[in-house]
Amino acid sequence: MTNPTIDTATDSTNIPEFAALSGSLRALSNAVAPAGMEAEVRKLIMEQIRDHVTDLHIDSIGNVTAIKRQAGGESNGEERPALMLVAHMDEPGFIVTEVGDDGLISVEAMGSFDPRYLGAAQVQIGKDKIPGVFTWKPIHHDRSMDIRSLDDTAIDVGASNAGGTCVKVGDRAALYGEYQRIESGDLVRGKAFESRIGCAILLALVTGDDLPIDVSVAFLTQHTIETRGAGIAASRLKPTSALVFTGVEAFDLPRDEDLPEHYSAVHVGHGPVLMVGERRHIGNYTLIRALEQIAEQTDQPVQKQFAGRSDAALIAHASSGVSLATVGVPMRYPSSANNVASLRDIDATIRLVRVALSQFPLS
């Protein structure tokens, strides 16, 4: 795969609706950015926002921060905007721990995967995106249904000795995936949607029509490593409130009647997800209620979810505290290279936020 750039032409053919959004998401999704190797996504983002923002800055952990002034470019007098918009860039991946004499490569995971999706996975390693596969002990030799550890497998790039791999300890790897629009509808599949959908939303807000207020933006790194980029960006931008954008896992499969009711279900195609709370953060109630009302007024269905872990916690805890809400876009199969999401849900989220910005500060 060549280095992706944003290109609407590919997505315009036959499916004009959401072509620009799809083109943007395609480039972001196909780009490879496990924690500590976010350059490819960072470059795409910088390229896109450069002419639309001021104070463009990359900090020591790799976050991209900037300020987007309102229409007319006039600031409302404050150095730092009150509202920060956030997405993260990195995708779950792997880090090379050892390159064997037999040419097989040992790794550990960075970020959390549902291990049932990792068996016999295809991967790409390092800046050169060297193709590889996780070996899998054949069923003829082992029929056990117990989950296998990454320790019992290795990545095979075809080399028969260490030198032949062109891989070194510390290199990062990601799942291999190719973005695709599904049939002629709203759905798309590809990898890394959890991070890249958020990035696509921010890019659309920053590079689209002028915004009614100043905002700061942060594209974070190391979400997959306990969201370590989040607090740093908040410390620099010092917002008083924030909106965090991310993919959130949907549950669209047939639902067993016995499943307890408190396992709420988020569905692809049913609109943006207002994250009422998660393990280390409770969404700001005012923000959430305001978003919900705007959704009602604009006839936009939304969903609610109490689960997950976004960058919210570390942002909320920054300096004097930040009131924030996480707005999610539903997606399926986050642990695979074939995530599924709806362009319509992403578009609806962008619209919802634009209306919300025009009513800021929300109460």
Partner 1 sequence: MAASHIHDALQTEIKDHLRTISEAHGATGFESQIRDQIAAAWRPLTDEITVNRMGNLYATRRANRKRADSDQENGQPSRKIMLCAHMDEVGFIVRQITEEGYLLVNMLGYPDARIMPGKRAIVHGKRDVTGIFTVLPQFAQPADQKDKYPRTSNLFLDLCMSANRVHEAVTVGDWITMDTPLLELKNDRVAGKTLDNRACVAAITAALKLLQERVHGWDVVAVASVQEEQTLLGARVAAYEINPDIAIVLDVTFAKQPGGKPPTFALGGGPTLALGPNLHPLLYDAIKASAERVSIPLTPEVQPGETGTDAVEVQIAREGIPTALLQVPLRNMHTTIETVDMKDVLQTGAVMAEFIAGLPTDFLLDPDLLP
Q: Would strands 83-88 and 215-220 be described as parallel, antiparallel, or unpaired?
A: parallel
Residue 262: left (phi > 0), alpha (psi -120 to 50), or beta?
Answer: alpha
Burial 118-137 (b: 16+ CB within 10 A, else e): beebebbbbeebbebbbeee
CB of 97 to partner 1, least distance (A): 14
The alpha carbon torsion through 25, 26, 28, 31 (nearest 10 deg) reads 170
Q: Which is nearer to partner 1, 183 or 209 (CB)?
A: 183
CB of 160 to partner 1, least distance (A): 6
Q: Which is nearer to partner 1, 51 or 258 (CB)?
A: 258
CB 70 within 8 A of CB 54: no
Q: Which is nearer to partner 1, 140 or 279 (CB)?
A: 140
Contact residues for partner 1, defined by CB under 8 A: 104, 114, 116-117, 119-122, 130-142, 145-147, 152-154, 156-160, 164-166, 176, 182-183, 185, 187, 189, 249, 251-256, 259, 263, 332-333, 335-338, 340
Q: Which is nearer to partner 1, 187 or 276 (CB)?
A: 187
CB of 1 to partner 1, least distance (A): 12
Q: How far apart are the C-alpha atoms of 359 and 363, rounded to whole Å?
A: 9
Give the DSSP letter string of 238-304: --SEEEEEEEEE---SPPPTTS-TTS----TTS--EEEEEETTEE--HHHHHHHHHHHHHTT---EE
Taking alpha carbons only, the member of 360, 84, 63 closest to residue 242 is 84
Q: Which is nearer to partner 1, 167 or 215 (CB)?
A: 167
CB of 194 to partner 1, least distance (A): 14
CB of 99 to partner 1, least distance (A): 13
Q: Which is nearer to partner 1, 48 or 153 (CB)?
A: 153
305's CB contacts (< 8 A; 6+ apart) are 248, 264, 266, 273, 274, 275, 276, 328
Q: Which is nearer to partner 1, 28 or 130 (CB)?
A: 130
CB of 101 to partner 1, least distance (A): 13
CB of 259 to partner 1, least distance (A): 6
Which H or E element spans position 86?
strand 83-88
